[in-house]
Amino acid sequence: MTDAGVPLSQPLYGASFVQAIKRFFAKYATFSGRASRSEYWWLAVAFLLVYAVFGGILALVLVTTGEPMPSGGVRGTGPEIAVLVLMGLVFVGLIIPSIAVTVRRLHDADYSGWFYLLHLIPYLGSLVVFIFTLLPSRPAGARFDE
């Protein structure tokens, strides 16, 4: 059992920010089962915050240590590259679990996780997956439970 007495194999409807993050890492690479809308969208907010912080740090480092270029831009040096590498490592470390939570969210809306591959269709595919993640939970999605 986890937060609110709901097992990890079941979606936690009305999950708080902290509960969603805990469940995300507890189900790191679990593609079976379901994820509620709150579990999914709190993670989207968390990812947005993490990448905004990285972007802010990168901008700050670039402004303070970057070398001016004749074209008016700024050329990065060592610290900027370190921030970009760290950002890349975080992205790579979170790509599998973020795909897994999206697949579980699709399951909760009673869609196959294979619909995630719609992302491979430029523009339209990602829009369709986005819309699917917005849809409410369906009881029939229980067929994807473990």
The residue among 44, 58, 47, 65 whose CA lies nearest residue 130 is 44
- Calpha distance 21→39 (Å, rounded): 8
pLDDT at 93: 93
The residues with which 2 forms a beta bridge, in sequence order, are none
pLDDT at 81: 82
Which helix (H) or strand (E) segment holds residue 101: the answer is: helix 78-108
Q: Taking the model in full, what pTM does it have? A: 0.85
Per-residue pLDDT tens, the chain, 146 aa: give them.
Answer: 456 678 888 889 999 999 999 999 999 899 999 999 999 999 999 999 999 999 999 888 878 876 665 665 556 667 888 888 999 999 999 999 999 999 999 999 999 999 999 999 999 999 999 999 999 999 888 888 87
Give the start-to-end residue ranges of the domains of the chain.
Answer: 11-138
- Could you tell me the two tokens for 80? 């900027």
Query: Is 20 in contact with 43 (CB distance < 8 Å)?
Result: yes
